């Protein structure tokens, strides 16, 4: 009787193996601490925050300076129509010309050609214009038809001798002049830079005449000045403009 009860009791038990207790689990390895990486991360955060702070501070320290809208040739002064104002970050190492100094700037001369969209600095100007070595500035008084209608400062031009000799010259002088004049087909100056262009007359009456100054080689200056004095110079554009 007892044997049967034990057999019946054992028949109800599960055949699945017993699960291990909590104390029987394999131990996990401890996490490896990397203090150097943590310190680097903190340092990067601090550097980023400092950089952002500096940008905000610099953005607050801005000044109004002068920027060129139109090209300024060597020896020229700026006018109100040539410049505009822009805001830049203040930098003590850069000699900006501030907008408040514009009136004083107008009395100075550009040392070299200053191209459009340039922010001006003090070292670009001087009280007196200085010509590049080996160059000369020659003035020309030209009538309408002796220059291109769209001529402007900075243009590259050639100068030709045109017209005849004076009435008081003898036949030999006329022949000599013709040998060196327009009949030879040669240019007085092959390539010259226009420095200034000024229209003669007043604001209400235009005579069609212009006064130009050309920057030429010193070796060409005498012949060009002589022809200009006689009113026998014509200007044409050449490639390179």
Q: How do beta strands 156-161 and 189-201 pair?
A: antiparallel
Q: Average model confidence (pLDDT) for the chain?
A: 78
Number of CB atoms found within 10 A of residue 115's CB:
11
- pLDDT, tens digit (0-9, with 9 covering 90-100), for 60-115: 588 999 999 988 877 788 999 999 999 998 888 999 999 999 999 999 988 878 88
Give the Cα separation of 228 and 107 in Å (integer).
29
Strand partners, 234: 160
Q: What is the pLDDT of residue 4?
A: 53
Fold of 62-126: Type Iii Antifreeze Protein Isoform Hplc 12 (3.90.1210)
Structure tokens at 128: 């007196």
Task: From 212, 192, 222, 203, select the one nearest 147 (Cα to Cα).
Answer: 212
Across the range 44-61, mean pLDDT stands at 74
Task: Say which range, 39-48, 154-163, 165-174, has the weakest mean pLDDT.
Answer: 165-174
Coil, strand, or helix at residue 162?
coil
pLDDT digits (tens, 9 = 90+) for 106-132: 999 888 788 899 999 999 998 876 677
Reported as a single tens digit per residue, the pLDDT across 202-216 is: 545 556 788 988 989
**Can you state the percent helix, strand and coil of the chain, rounding each to 5?**
30, 30, 40
Q: How far apart are CA 193 and CA 156, in angstroms?
A: 5
Tell me, letter by letter, the H, E, C secondary structure of 223-236.
Answer: HHHHHHHCCCEEEE
Give the pLDDT confidence score for residue 225 in this predicted structure. Answer: 93
Give domain limits for the chain. 62-126, 135-237
């Amino acid at each position: 009787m007892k044997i049967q009860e034990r057999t019946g009791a054992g028949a109800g038990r599960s055949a699945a193996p017993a699960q291990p207790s909590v104390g029987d689990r394999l131990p996990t390895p401890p996490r490896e601490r990397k203090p150097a990486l943590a310190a680097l991360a903190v340092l990067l955060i601090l550097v980023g925050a400092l950089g952002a702070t500096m940008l905000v501070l610099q953005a607050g320290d801005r000044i109004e300076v002068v920027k060129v809208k139109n090209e300024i040739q060597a020896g020229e002064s700026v006018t109100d129509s040539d410049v505009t104002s822009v805001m830049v970050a203040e930098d003590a190492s850069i000699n900006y010309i501030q907008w408040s100094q514009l009136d004083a700037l107008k009395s100075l001369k550009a040392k070299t050609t200053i191209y459009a969209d340039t922010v001006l600095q003090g070292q670009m100007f001087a009280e007196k214009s200085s010509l590049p070595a080996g160059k000369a500035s020659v003035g020309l008084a030209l009538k309408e038809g002796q220059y291109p209608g769209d001529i402007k400062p900075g243009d590259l031009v050639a100068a030709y001798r045109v017209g005849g000799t004076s009435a008081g010259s003898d036949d030999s002088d006329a022949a000599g002049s013709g040998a060196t004049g327009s009949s030879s087909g040669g240019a007085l100056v092959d390539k010259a830079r226009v420095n200034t262009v000024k229209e003669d007359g007043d604001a209400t009456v235009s005579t069609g005449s212009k006064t130009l100054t050309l920057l030429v080689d010193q070796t060409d200056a005498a012949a060009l000045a002589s022809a200009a004095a006689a009113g026998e110079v014509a200007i044409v554009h050449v490639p390179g403009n």
